[in-house]
Amino acid sequence: MRVIVIGARASLLAQAQTRWVVERLKENWPETEFKIRTIQAKHASEQSAAEALREALSQRQIDIAVYSLKYLPTQEVPGIHLVAVPKRVEPREALVGRSSKRLEDLPKGAMVGVNSLRRKAQLLAYRPDLNPCPLEGDVDDRLSAIGTGEFDAVIMGAASLLRLDLRNRIDQLIDPEVMLPAPGQGALGLEVRRGDDWAEELAYSLNHRPSFVRVTAERAFLRALDAGDECPAAALATLEGDDTLVLHGLISSPDGRELIRAEIEGDAEEAAELGLELAQDLLAEGGRELLGAVSAR
């Protein structure tokens, strides 16, 4: 019997996510043996981790790679494809506060830890009186920054806390009208080598079509911006029934003073086309200049 090797990066969150995937695969394929292999990246960044997992796939060191989908580059790699997106967890942003438990209640000048330009820009757009500060490290490091009093609050993806059974640390789920998440946030992605039919069948057994459709639109939006995965852009798709997809997207200046936001609605089967069209609309409305200013910094 072939042993299926599942690749994951070394962080606490990545390991928890991968164990969840393996447990689901064992439920579907009880007679198959699964092993988790931790893949070390050359650098600490999430993008470097994704590259390392893709390299391990190409070199046949692993059979299925598990990613936090928002960190998976939108550019395709020859010989590898995204075959499954399990049911998405909460995509919204979460606020973890020290004394104030809501974004609206934070005092003027409060120090808020954020780890992306996207979060910083939207935070300043909503509360220009706050002080967003760089936030480094994994989930436990970010939570520690609250405990030590370094920050008055931190903002992170709610899914990270949920997957680590830290629901009790979430003080507020931030309304997407206030802060749109990163494309693919809250979702996992499973990649395999093209031509590996057995690994593809196993991975595809975990695919959740509504989640796959939603992230397809969001990732197409980001890919069409051609501005890198860390640009101040955000997107969130929802499904109305089985067939209608609504995609919200935005592009912002880094300081949040200029923010262009729009939505598009259409057939869910045309998710990628809708993502492309919304990106083109926002670029034409001034988004190209905003992203150009970011790249020139």
Average pLDDT, the chain: 93
Q: Give residue 148's pLDDT.
A: 86
The answer on 113 and 243 residing in a single domain is no
Q: Is residue 29 part of a domain?
A: yes
Confidence of residue 266 (pLDDT cuts 50, 70, 90): very high
In a domain, 249, yes or no: yes
**pLDDT on residue 229:** 61
Q: State the pLDDT at residue 219.
A: 96
182 domain-assigned: no
Least confident of 17-31, 74-88, 93-107, 219-233: 219-233
Residue 187: closest CA among 228, 158, 147: 158
pLDDT tier for residue 5 given thresholds of 50, 70 and 90: very high
Is residue 270, in this structure, part of any structural domain at all?
yes
Q: Are residues 75 and 191 in the same domain?
A: yes
pLDDT at 233 (0 to 100): 94
Cα separation, 8 vs 68, in Å, equals 10
Is 77 inside any structural domain? yes
**CATH number of 104's domain:** 3.40.190.10
Average pLDDT for residues 257-273, to the nearest whole number? 97
* Whether 125 and 261 share a structural domain: no
Does 201 have pLDDT greater than 70? yes
Q: Are residues 57 and 200 in the same domain?
A: yes
Mean pLDDT along residues 77-96? 96
pTM of the model: 0.94
Query: Does residue 230 belong to any structural domain of this protein?
Result: yes
pLDDT for residue 145 is more than 90: no
Q: Are residues 170 and 245 in the same domain?
A: no
Query: Stretch 180-185: mean pLDDT, rounded?
Result: 96
Comparing C-alpha atoms, which of 29, 46, 88 is closest to residue 208? 88
Task: Write out the residue range of the structural domain in which residue 75 sits.
Answer: 3-87+187-207
Number of domains present in the structure of the chain:
3
Asked whether residue 212 is assigned to any structural domain, the reply reads no
297 vs 293: CA distance, rounded Å: 7
Alpha-carbon gap, residue 99 to 106, rounded angstroms? 9
Torsion of CA 146, 152, 158, 163, to 10 degrees: 10
